[in-house]
């Protein structure tokens, strides 16, 4: 309610009736502005506190675990991408296999497992002459942490799908498969997929020293420091 009283106060000064009390309009606006000014700093304080808590949580995670990403595993596999094996088929033929272009997907298709894809070049010699073929392989393995060596190994490696070019070599591939599986298992049981380095980062150094095992999550392997 706007009230004008007697002689008009200085121009444009009005009073508002608030709960039976005349309050200068300018004072009310000043209080309103002050309220805004007070609320804005409060928002800033709450936002800063949220950032602080978030930072503390990230810091705590860095102190309790270390994460190896899918990309890091793939980069490590690329460095160790040198599987080469001679496989002899008693009384039939000798085959030389070179595995390349290995790439992993962690915990995506099957819990606690790593799925790999790769190419293989096959050179085969037999009584019928020499033959060459290329293969597209899909493999699965169980990631296992070796605390003594500070390394992640891909154990129980097996080929779950394979295609060969030319197609006429498909029967030969089926004959080779048991020998190929065994060779891959032996190789990856001895060659780590990822090795922790103390001089790489503080988190990796802590993981090498305090690791309690590994947890497989989609796209990453987590190494906890506590049980």
**Structural domain boundaries enclosing 217:** 71-224
Q: Write 167-170 long-range contacts (CB < 8 A, 24+).
A: 169/122, 169/131, 169/133
Taking a C-beta distance cutoff of 8 angstroms, is the pair 183, 176 a contact? no
Number of compact structural domains in the chain = 1
* Tokens representing residue 194 in the block: 């990822």
Q: What is the pLDDT of residue 127?
A: 76
Tell me if 58 is assigned to some domain.
no
User: What radius of gyration, in Å, describes the C-alpha atoms of the chain?
Assistant: 34
Residue with tokens 């160790």: 80
Tell me if 210 is assigned to some domain.
yes
Tell me if 164 is assigned to some domain.
yes
184 to each of 25, 72, 106, how far by Cα in Å?
85, 21, 18
Tell me if 184 is assigned to some domain.
yes
Tell me if 178 is assigned to some domain.
yes
Q: What is the pLDDT of residue 208?
A: 84
* H or E, element range at 141: strand 129-146
What length is written for the chain?
A: 227
- The segments of the chain whose pLDDT lies below 70 read 1-62, 81, 198
Instruction: Specify the pTM.
Output: 0.69
Tell me if 168 is assigned to some domain.
yes
Tell me if 50 is assigned to some domain.
no
Q: What CATH number has the domain bearing residue 153? A: 3.15.10.40
Q: What is the pLDDT of residue 172?
A: 81
Q: What is the pLDDT of residue 129?
A: 84
Residue with tokens 């987590």: 222
Tell me if 77 is assigned to some domain.
yes
Q: Give Cβ neighbours of residue 63 (< 8 Å, ≥ 6 apart).
A: 206, 225
Q: What is the pLDDT of residue 58?
A: 42
């Amino acid at each position: 309610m706007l009230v004008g009283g007697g002689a008009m106060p200085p121009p444009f000064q009005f009073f508002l009736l608030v709960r039976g009390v005349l309050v200068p309009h300018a004072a009310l606006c000043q209080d309103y502005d002050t309220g805004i000014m007070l609320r804005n700093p409060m928002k800033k304080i709450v936002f800063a506190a949220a950032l602080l808590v978030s930072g503390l949580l990230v810091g705590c995670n860095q102190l309790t675990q270390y994460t190896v990403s899918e990309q890091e595993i793939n980069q490590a596999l690329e460095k160790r991408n040198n599987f080469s094996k001679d496989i002899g088929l008693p009384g039939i033929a000798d085959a030389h296999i070179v595995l390349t272009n290995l790439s992993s997907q962690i915990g995506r298709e099957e819990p606690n497992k790593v799925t790999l894809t790769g190419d293989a070049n096959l050179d085969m010699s037999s009584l019928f002459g020499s033959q060459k073929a290329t293969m597209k392989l899909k493999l699965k393995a169980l990631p296992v942490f070796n605390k003594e060596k500070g390394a992640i190994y891909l154990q129980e490696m097996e080929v779950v799908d394979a295609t060969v070019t030319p197609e006429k070599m498909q029967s030969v591939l089926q004959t080779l498969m048991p020998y190929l599986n065994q060779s891959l298992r032996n190789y990856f049981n001895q060659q780590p997929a990822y090795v922790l380095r103390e001089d790489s980062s503080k988190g990796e150094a802590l993981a090498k020293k305090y690791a309690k095992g590994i947890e497989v999550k989609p796209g990453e392997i987590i190494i906890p420091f506590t049980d």
